[in-house]
Amino acid sequence: MPRAGLSTAAVVDAALDLIDDRGLNALTLAAVAERTGVAAPSLYKHVGSLAQLRTLMAVRIMEELTERSTSALVGRSGDDAVAALMRTYRRYAVDHPARHAAMPPDPLHDPALASAGTRLLEIFLAVLRGYGLEGEAAIHATRCLRAIVHGFASIEAAGGFGLPEDLDTTHEQLIHMFTASLPRTSS
């Protein structure tokens, strides 16, 4: 008998809590079942497989990051918007390193992830439109921005910056380096 209140969303919540607590490698259907208080076969009423659960988790993670980024960008433009986006992405990755690691590298080519991935991509593209970047130029700038924020956040979340110098200072320098590379529109 399924536990009262257990739903697909609750299974995803439990899986995300599990990886937050124990890391991405701890994700198994048995561990999620234990966390939800049901037998592992009962999870199949809500998710068809571990792969499907990972997909549902990835969608949720991208939705969370999109929501946080959208909130951070309200009323901002130009360098201020880029800085807010970079800080928000970093904060999410550092606060939730396993979730960040669970984000797929190319969600746009997976039909189950494409919608959530496109919404997150649109945040980056919208910020860069303020610099007059469209088409291929916007894609190249988005790739650079994504590589910068993902790389820094991944290294930081993994504890890879072992020297004592302040990480916030380094991150602010990185923001400045990226924004300085963007074209300035003449008024």
Tens of pLDDT, residue by residue, the chain (187 residues):
345 578 999 999 999 999 999 999 999 999 999 999 999 888 999 999 999 999 999 999 999 999 999 999 999 999 999 999 999 999 999 999 999 999 999 999 999 999 999 999 999 999 999 999 999 999 999 999 999 999 999 999 999 999 999 999 999 999 999 999 999 875 5
The residue with tokens 């599990």 is 18
Paired tokens of 153: 């956040």
Q: How crowded is residue 127: how many other Cβ atoms within 10 Å of its Cβ?
A: 28
CATH number of the domain located at residue range(s) 57-181 in this protein: 1.10.357.10
Q: What is the pLDDT of residue 7?
A: 94
Q: Where are the domains of the chain?
A: 1-48, 57-181
Give ∠ CA 145-150-152 in degrees, rounded to 5.
100
pTM: 0.91
Residues 1-48, CATH architecture: Orthogonal Bundle (1.10)
The residue with tokens 């008998």 is 1
Phi and psi dihedrals of 106, rounded to 5? -140, 70
Q: What is the pLDDT of residue 124?
A: 95
CA pair distance 120, 168, nearest whole angstrom: 24
CA pair distance 57, 111, nearest whole angstrom: 15
